[in-house]
Amino acid sequence: MRKLKTTELGRLSVEEFREKEKLPIIAVLENVRSAYNVGSFFRTADAFLLEAIYLVGYTAFPPHKEIRKTALGAEDTVTWKHFKTPAEALADLKSMGYEVYAIEQASGSNQLQHFSGGEKVAVVFGNEVTGVEQSTIEACNGCIEIPQLGMKHSLNVATAGGIVLWELVRNRLLADLS
């Protein structure tokens, strides 16, 4: 076994990326404080060919130096929209037929490993300290919770994003194989 060279990775060009069919998954970032975390979401959205990222409230949006540092150019290729309020973002998503789920520890939440969403799914990630706003949770189709076994029961928002988005993508890949 040997590590692949960059030239062997089969990376898409910017144009090829833009033309490639995207998965109908949208990540919604509600009042995420750290622009570095936002940049990480752009890289994840690029890696998994997500439809878009919605940036809500005071979440930083491009052009932004700290986003660029962690996104490494993905902010130029991944489709994104900024909304002043969560209600505006959710209304837009629902008008396009998306089911919307908050990523939050809540009563009645779906455990991530058991979640099976619809054709078009949007997932809302909240503020690093306070999580997803209660009013947003109430406007969602439900909540998805990442099982956590340790003492903290808390993950960095970008880490949570990678876990949840991979699981959604993985389930679609498995469905395509069957």
How far is residue 145 from each of residues 67, 132, 164, 167, 177, measured CA to CA in Å? 26, 12, 9, 12, 26
Tens of pLDDT, residues 84-124: 999 999 999 999 999 999 999 999 999 999 998 899 999 99
- Nearest CA to 27 among 13, 14, 40? 40
Band of residue 144 on the pLDDT scale cut at 50, 70, 90: very high
Could you tell me the pTM of the whole model? Answer: 0.95
Three-state SS sequence of 59-78: CCCCCCHHHHHHHCCHHHCC
Range name among 16-20, 93-97, 120-124, 143-147 with the lowest pLDDT average = 16-20
Instruction: Identify the pLDDT of residue 178.
Output: 64
Instruction: State the average pLDDT over residues 150-154.
Output: 87
Average per-residue pLDDT for the chain? 95
User: Taking the domain 21-146+154-177, which CATH number applies?
Assistant: 3.40.1280.10
The residue extents of the domains of the chain are: 21-146+154-177
- The β-bridge partners of 100 are 122
